[in-house]
Amino acid sequence: MTSEQQELQRRSRRFANEVILPVAAKHDRDGTFPLEVMEKAHQEGFLTPLVPKAYGGQGLGVLDNGIIAEELAAGCMGIYVSIFVSTLAIYPIITFGTENQKERFLKPLCSKFGLASYCLSELTVGSDPASMKTTATLQGDYYLLNGTKMWITNGGYADFYLVFATTDPQKKHKGILSLIVPSHLEGVSHGEPIDKMGQRASNTTAVKFDQVKVPKENLLAGEGEGFKKAMAALDITRPMIALGAVGVARSAMELATQYAKKRIQFGIPIAQHQAIQFLLADMAKDIEAARLLAYKAAWQADRGVKNSKEAAMAKALATDVAMRVTTDAVQIYGGMGYTKWHPVEKLMRDAKVTQIYEGTAQVMRLIIARQMLQEVERVAPL
């Protein structure tokens, strides 16, 4: 890390310890959205890290953002994911948006507090977004948008939504475009927060678009381009989710290590039993491996190197590690780990969904295998 990145890490860790951790358990218990934390995250620049300085953002890179991700998620992944999703929604505008769109949508999010959402999934369409049913029909100078998106993080709080819709469901991915849809437009509404197993501080809702007239100038990516750009954004953000999962795993490992040194069974701290040491050692090596793979995928993204395979590898590895490490942390705590008296059960619940959103563990393996098979064909004989 450069000295700037080390300072960013210290600042992020301080924010996690002083602002996120003190309220994490309460928001998890009540399933409430931590608006006050979000506003402070805005003041720190954590909501717009990738936005260039010219538009009032931080002008940071993907690896920098990954450093923030690990630290904030070590405080609470539910709170971090609410911070993160704005970046997922605005990254395509940074990269593909017109000057006019950047002025209208990036600048306001940097100058005053606001949130954005990424609307790809639907109730019947998750891993296979090319089969989406939400439609956008060009009518003169606006697109008429109809459909309901599901599982939308920040759905109830977003100032605007980045919405993927199809001009014709028969065309599959070739019919998909993306539109920037301000939440105040007539016909936009959202459902009640979904009651979730984990990451309960994040706000997840359905978002409905009923005959919404979206001005033509809000088109971010035209027919066919929308799908490619949705996928390109995920190559950038998957290393961040991977590093968020590393943060969750790290917290579980630290707690389990402290507990194992204090808990006495058979007259000695359980940390002195080799079986417990092996669990702790596996946690440490797997976390380190996941972090380094995610750093590589982020580093590639910063250099404009195609990283779909590495981003999928990092996301698959880190989220599996988070699930395993948090489960083993509960094991090390024994019965205490299975109660709400200690935070490890929350970490285990929070880890689970990292294997589901931003592409499931299975879909990550499909992406890895697809690219491997292409690469093997290209290997020249020795």
Minimum CB distance to ligand FAD, residue 370 (Å): 11
**283 is a site residue for ligand FAD (CB under 6 A):** no
Q: What is the DSSP string of 219-276?
A: EEE-TTHHHHHHHHHHHHHHHHHHHHHHHHHHHHHHHHHHHHHH-EETTEEGGGSHHH
Angle (CA) 327-331-336 rounded to 5° is 110
Which H or E run contains 35? helix 35-44
Are 329 and 253 in contact by the 8 Å Cβ rule? The answer is yes
**185 is a site residue for ligand FAD (CB under 6 A):** no
Nearer to ligand FAD, 130 or 336 (CB): 130
CA distance 175 to 222: 9
**118 is a site residue for ligand FAD (CB under 6 A):** yes
Q: Which of 82, 204, 251, 307 binds ligand FAD (CB under 6 A)?
A: 204
Which of 223, 254, 358, 375 is labelled catalytic?
A: 358
**311 is a site residue for ligand FAD (CB under 6 A):** no
Q: Which of 73, 77, 110, 119 binds ligand FAD (CB under 6 A)?
A: 119
Nearer to ligand FAD, 160 or 259 (CB): 160
**269 is a site residue for ligand FAD (CB under 6 A):** no
CA distance 281 to 82: 31
Part in contact with ligand FAD (CB under 6 A); list of ranges 61-69, 96-104, 339-347, 362-370: 362-370
- Residue, CB closest to ligand FAD: 126
155, amino acid identity: G
Residue 23 CB-density burial (10 A; 0-12 exposed, 13-18 middle, 19+ buried): middle
CA distance 72 to 66: 10
Are 353 and 199 in contact by the 8 Å Cβ rule? The answer is yes
**94 is a site residue for ligand FAD (CB under 6 A):** no
Contact code string over 340-359 relative to ligand FAD, x by CB under 6 A: -------------x--xx-x
Q: Which of 85, 109, 323, 329 binds ligand FAD (CB under 6 A)?
A: 85
Which positions from 150 through 179 interact with ligand FAD, judged by CB under 6 A?
151-153
**183 is a site residue for ligand FAD (CB under 6 A):** no
Q: Which of 196, 213, 263, 273 binds ligand FAD (CB under 6 A)?
A: 196
**360 is a site residue for ligand FAD (CB under 6 A):** yes
Are 240 and 212 in contact by the 8 Å Cβ rule? The answer is no
CA distance 49 to 88: 11
Are 176 and 166 in contact by the 8 Å Cβ rule? The answer is yes
CA dihedral 331, 337, 342, 348 (to 10 degrees): 70
Is the torsion defined by CA of 299, 303, 305, 311 positive or negative? positive
**Is 71 designated active site?**
no
Part in contact with ligand FAD (CB under 6 A); list of ranges 46-54, 246-254, 276-284, 360-368: 360-368
**143 is a site residue for ligand FAD (CB under 6 A):** no
CA distance 226 to 274: 53
Q: Which of 120, 249, 253, 298 binds ligand FAD (CB under 6 A)?
A: 120
**76 is a site residue for ligand FAD (CB under 6 A):** no
Nearest-CA neighbor of 294 among 94, 45, 113, 73? 73
**231 is a site residue for ligand FAD (CB under 6 A):** no
Minimum CB distance to ligand FAD, residue 121 (Å): 3
- Which residues are tagged catalytic? 358
Q: Which residues bind ligand FAD (CB under 6 A)?
A: 85, 117-121, 126-127, 151-153, 196, 199, 204, 353, 356-357, 359-360, 362-363, 366
